[in-house]
Amino acid sequence: MKKNRIWLVVLGLVAASASIPFLNSCHKGGSTASAVGGDAAAKVYVAPGKYDEFYSFVSGGFNGQMSVYGLPSGRMFRIIPVFSVFPENGYGYSEETKPMLNTSHGLVPWDDLHHIAMSETKGEQDGRWAFGNANNTPRIGRVDLKTFRTTEIIEVPNSAGNHSSPFITENSEYVVAGTRFSVPVDDNADVPIDSYKKNFQGSISFIKADEPGKMDIAFQLRLPGVNFDLSRAGKGKSHGWFFFSCYNSEQASTLLEVNASQKDKDFILAINWKKAEEYTKAGLGKKEKVTYAHNYLDETTHTATSTIKNEVLVLDYRDPALKDLFYFIPCPKSPHGCDTDPTGEYIVGSGKLAAIIPVFSFTKIQKAIANKTYDGDFDGIPVINYEAVLHGEVQKPGLGPLHTEFDGKGFAYTSFFVSSEIVKWNIEKLEVVDRVPTYYSIGHLSIPGGPTAKPHGKYVIAYNKITKDRYLPTGPELTQSAQLYDISGEKMKLLLDFPTTGEPHYAEAIPAELLVKNSVKIFKIEDNKHPYVAKGEKETKVTRQGNQVHVYMTAIRSHLTPDNIEGVKLGDEVYFHVTNLEQDWDVPHGFAIKGANNAEILIMPGETCTLKWKPDRIGMFPFYCTDFCSALHQEMQGYLRVSPANSKVELSFGTGKKAAEPTASTK
């Protein structure tokens, strides 16, 4: 107990002293300016009209989105909503995309996205998809890198705080999702919280993700109740294995700050997933009743559907037939990051409260398992002897190690939250070779291709949690920041810092050439299979089914068809199905109508999007295009007349009728 208190005090002191320079105005900017070399500006300069070398997909943390930056310029190109509604493009507001945010709890409009995993083939980035995790209501989402859109989301049952997620195998066979909060597996289990040890269980899900539209939980591993934190798949020689850091092996359920920092070592859990896969094929495991949603956006109908699924296959660690799937490796002090090097031989554990970085050897792990070099067990799972599997420890690396990335040249780069730095070290020799300060309190770091078998190297980007004095103040809330360092030489060099959106956790960067060639420019109107499409102005119409009014509308520079609609009555529900007839890159149209308390929509060329609107009063309702699409964008507008519920006004619509004659009153 005492020891832990001391640790916490030490960490507090370091944090406090680290904050002194940036509260002292004399220092403001001083250390920064000297940290940047004279040629830094030229190295990040991307001339107007030129492309960046890398795309970086950065998690938005509490905003539930991903954002896409160019490297080395640090320019942001796009925000991709994944788990949160997004006013910029109507995601989660249009009728087509609402099902994407459906869960077994109903619509969840805002979540927390921490980690990105890019699809891989043979251990290398292949540029097909980026996956992200919803941390709060456990889900994994797929972003299609041809369209930069979220096209699929799967919910993860029996999980809570989906943090060690998503991590991917070297041929994208699976993305995994590990639970941070262990919970009683039946989500509604009504048991005392202090029965954690008895009733709470961990789970790790293996999700098939290599076929769009068919994401599903292949199997779920039931595990002892601890907190699973981060993970990486094995690669190369360790392909077929997965490694998960876990903390709270104390199994505390209150005041974890102290109670989960008792033991000297927690664990990395090594899982033989190839074998687990074989066991499921051999019919082992039990099917359990659960409820989870699978949502898929079909790019031909431009419409998402949400399906509720009811079953999951569970492999339980207590099943004697499954004994050889799981092994615990002791890892010092509340490990966070758990990273495998490009060869797959080394596994780096980063204990948040540890003063060293342990590096484990996959070869030694195999040997220890073969020889049963165990130090007892934890809840029936063998605990491998620490020394037997240790490649070695990096001594005095820094304070508060979190995450490690690799450059493919034999070096590892570890982020240190407490001492605010990136430390470069040699994987074989375990020697620190360089360190640079970050501003301030770095969390994740990212090297393009850093988690793969073939890193692209060149840069490391620090994703910092605290910004303080780095930018112009913006009230109590400051943007988080990213910092770009050149790692092409022996010494790391700070080149640039740029603000991020939301709170960046992990980010993964990929060479632009892998994506640029595949980027979709338009949706072909002839391929549009939306049930309410109008493929030309002749197909536009307004129909009524009871109190539902469907407007088949088209948008093309610079008019909406129809642009005059009458015969809508109070009590009606109006669905505007707007098809953008353009077949030209970069010509979206928007649609908004006065009083809509849902939102607006933004429609890409060749796409159909639906806004549902329920008029709340009698009167005249203008609608218009919200995207400045042409010289006559301001003319792109129309009127919809709403009459009383019992009105006799016939449903009528049109565009381009001659200026109206004086009309008789229709009342």
- Which residues lie near ligand CUA (CB under 6 A)? 555, 589, 625, 627-629, 633, 636
> From edge to edge, which strands make up the β-sheet containing 442-446?
442-446, 459-464, 481-486, 493-499
Confirm or reject binding of residue 444 to ligand RUQ (CB under 6 A): yes
Contact status, residue 247 vs residue 266, Cβ threshold 8 Å: yes
- Cβ neighbourhood burial of 171 (10 Å; 0-12, 13-18, 19+): middle
In the complex, the smallest distance separating the C-beta of residue 635 from ligand CUA, rounded to whole angstroms, is: 9
**Between 298 and 627, CB nearer to ligand CUA:** 627
Q: Is 486 helix (H, G, I), strand (E, B) or coil?
A: strand
Applying CB under 6 A, does 302 fall inside the site for ligand RUQ?
A: no
- Judged by beta carbon distances under 5 to 8 A according to partner kind, the member of ligand CUA, ligand RUQ, none in contact with residue 115 is ligand RUQ
Comparing CB distances to ligand CUA, the nearer of 155 and 582 is 582
Report if residue 131 touches ligand RUQ, rule: CB under 6 A: no
Q: Does 128 bind ligand RUQ (CB under 6 A)?
A: no
443 binds ligand RUQ (CB under 6 A): yes
Q: Which of ligand CUA, ligand RUQ, none does residue 506 bind (CB under 5 to 8 Å by kind)?
A: ligand RUQ
Q: How far is the CB of 531 from ligand CUA (least distance, A)?
A: 24
The angle formed by the CA atoms of residues 376, 378 and 379, to the nearest 5 degrees, is 125
Tell me which of ligand RUQ, ligand CUA, none is bound by residue 402, counting a contact when its beta carbon lies within the kind-specific cut-off of 5 to 8 angstroms.
Answer: ligand RUQ
Pairing of strands 216-224, 303-316: parallel
576 binds ligand RUQ (CB under 6 A): no
Residue 627 interface partner, choices ligand RUQ, ligand CUA, none, CB cut-off 5-8 Å depending on type: ligand CUA
* 85 binds, options ligand CUA, ligand RUQ, none, Cβ within 5 to 8 A by partner type: none
**Distant-in-sequence, close-in-space partners of 569: CB < 8 Å, separation ≥ 6:** 547, 642, 643, 644, 645, 646, 647, 649
| Nearest distance from C-beta of residue 631 to ligand CUA, angstroms | 10
Q: Which is nearer to ligand RUQ, 67 or 385 (CB)?
A: 67
- Minimum distance between the CB of residue 332 and ligand RUQ, rounded to whole angstroms? 17
559 binds ligand RUQ (CB under 6 A): no
CA pair distance 360, 363, nearest whole angstrom: 9
List the one residue from 336, 435, 559, 569 that touches ligand RUQ (CB under 6 A).
336
Least separation in angstroms between CB 550 and ligand CUA: 21
Exposure b/e, 383-393, CB count within 10 A at least 16 = b = bbbbebbebbe
- Report the alpha-carbon distance of residue 184 to residue 285 in Å, rounded: 19
Query: In the chain, helix, strand, coil percent, each to 5?
Result: 15, 45, 40
Residue 88, classified by CB atoms within 10 Å of its CB into exposed (0-12), middle (13-18) or buried (19+), is exposed
Of 43 and 633, which CB lies nearer to ligand CUA in the complex structure?
Answer: 633
Residue 633 binding target from ligand RUQ, ligand CUA, none, CB below 5 to 8 Å by type = ligand CUA
Gap between the Cα atoms of 227 and 251, Å rounded:
8
- Asked if residue 232 binds ligand RUQ (CB under 6 A), the reply is no
Instruction: Tell which residue, 236, 231, 247, has the closest CA to residue 403.
Output: 231
Residues 467-506 that bind ligand RUQ (CB under 6 A): 505-506
Q: CB under 5 to 8 A by kind: which of ligand CUA, ligand RUQ, none does 444 bind? A: ligand RUQ
Distance (Å, whole) CA 291 – CA 312: 9
Which among 621, 550, 614 has a CA at the least distance from the CA of 579?
550
Q: Is 75 within 8 Å of 51 (Cβ atoms)?
A: no
Q: Report the alpha-carbon distance of residue 245 to residue 227 in Å, rounded.
A: 8
Q: Are 89 and 100 in contact (CB under 8 A)?
A: no
- 366: closest CA among 232, 231, 241, 221? 241
Decide whether 114 or 577 has the Cβ nearer to ligand RUQ: 114
Q: Using the rule CB under 6 A, is 114 a contact of ligand RUQ?
A: yes
- The CB-of-578 to ligand CUA minimum distance in angstroms stands at 10
Q: For the CB of residue 247, give the shortest distance to ligand RUQ in the complex, in Å.
A: 12
Q: Choose between 143 and 466: whose C-beta lies nearer to ligand RUQ.
A: 466
Find which of ligand CUA, ligand RUQ, none residue 589 binds, CB within 5 to 8 Å per kind: ligand CUA
| Sites of contact with ligand RUQ (CB under 6 A) | 114-115, 163, 230, 336, 402-403, 443-444, 505-506
